[in-house]
A and B are shown apart, each in its own frame.
Chain A
């Protein structure tokens, strides 16, 4: 199998993944997205890969590349829809609600005045989050009306247009930890707790991680949550609510795990690499069954030749070419 691993910065995780792919006998090519020119009508060099594994640190670069590659018929990991859903907290919440996955209550508004009403509907304290963001950036706990008015005014004046969306989340009075479960191919393979005396429990904000057992309840909730967003590989963050039990807070489509292999005893990078290869193999086999033409090459040829839908392509490809 030939895997392209796209990235913008090579962190420890990407090095671990490259090693894992090589250990498993795969041909992995790291590709710095900053060096690439995409032609949305032609795969070019991308035709040689069985799958593309995205590890870009930049969400913008991820979305740009995966939109193009997936539209050309490349099997991307994660799929575009999963990335778009996980990257947006509102989209994630909606996916959870549709799937019946328990999650903290939210209120959403698109104006500061109605935003204040949204916050007051939830009551104090509550949590204000940018709909797009990671590592706990600009996540604020609002303890009273004065703070709410102040934060909303700051966002209105200083924030980008994206910050005009007020996504207010119920504050969960959790113990001094949250829980992260790593889900690969529909299996909950490992879990950690992230402990901090600060109400934010992101490891990027100083929380300390330790391995914990994947209980049946954690496995069930996490796999259901990941299924609801359609991700192949993801990390699920859960909160323990004193009255309602486990709630799924969010899902990370490009998880970090450098400190979680030793704390959990699970070679997360190896499991991820193996699952990526399984997906690539299945995609290639499906394509072979479709006419012994590499799926990527067929999509590429069809795009170049101007062939439309109605050929023997999969529905996904037909949609692209129509």
Chain B
């Protein structure tokens, strides 16, 4: 039995980033190779960019 793999490329280190299901725009992911925090900016095809640093008004 095969499992479909959803992947994208880390913009920081070019490694493959795996998703266990289809991500949504704005979803935060982490590259397991370089530990960069990434944000999904497009879902078709899945495109990642470095997630922004914490901003002053972020929080709970």
Contact = CB atoms under 8 A, between A and B. Distances in A.
Interface of A: 7-11, 15, 30, 32, 34-35, 57-60, 132-135, 137, 160, 235, 252-256
B51 interface: yes
A203 to B, nearest CB: 10
B44 interface: no
Given A59-B59, A135-B58, 6 more contacts: A9-B28, A10-B27, A60-B57, A135-B54, A235-B60, A254-B59
B26 A9 contact: yes
Interface in B28-51: 28, 39-40, 51
A135 B57 contact: no
15 contacts: A8-B26, A10-B24, A10-B26, A10-B27, A10-B28, A30-B24, A57-B59, A60-B57, A134-B58, A135-B54, A137-B54, A137-B59, A160-B56, A252-B60, A253-B60
Given A9-B39, A9-B51, A58-B55, A32 B60 contact: no
B26 A59 contact: no
B16 interface: no
A11 B58 CA distance: 13
B8 to A, nearest CB: 15
Given A10-B27, A30-B24, A32-B25, A135 B55 contact: no
Interface of B: 23-28, 39-40, 51, 54-60
- Chain B, interface SS category: loop
A228 B38 CA distance: 38
B60 A255 contact: yes
A254 B58 CA distance: 11
Contacts of B55: 58
Contacts of B57: 58-60, 132
Contacts of B60: 134-135, 235, 252-256
A9 B40 CA distance: 9
Q: Which of B23, B27, B51, B55 has the most CB of A within 10 A?
A: B27
A35 B24 CA distance: 13
Nearest to A63: B57
Nearest to B39: A9
A132 B59 CA distance: 10
Contacts of A10: 23-28, 40
Nearest to B40: A10
Contacts of A255: 60
Nearest to A255: B60
A7 B54 CA distance: 15
Contacts of B59: 57, 59, 133-135, 137, 252, 254
What are the 3 A-B residue pairs with the smallest beta carbon separation, nearest first? A134-B59, A252-B60, A10-B27
Q: Which of B28, B39, B59 has the most CB of A within 10 A?
A: B59
B28 A11 contact: yes
B15 to A, nearest CB: 21
A252 B58 CA distance: 12
Nearest to B58: A57
B56 A32 contact: no
Contacts of B28: 9-11
A288 B36 CA distance: 50
Nearest to A59: B57
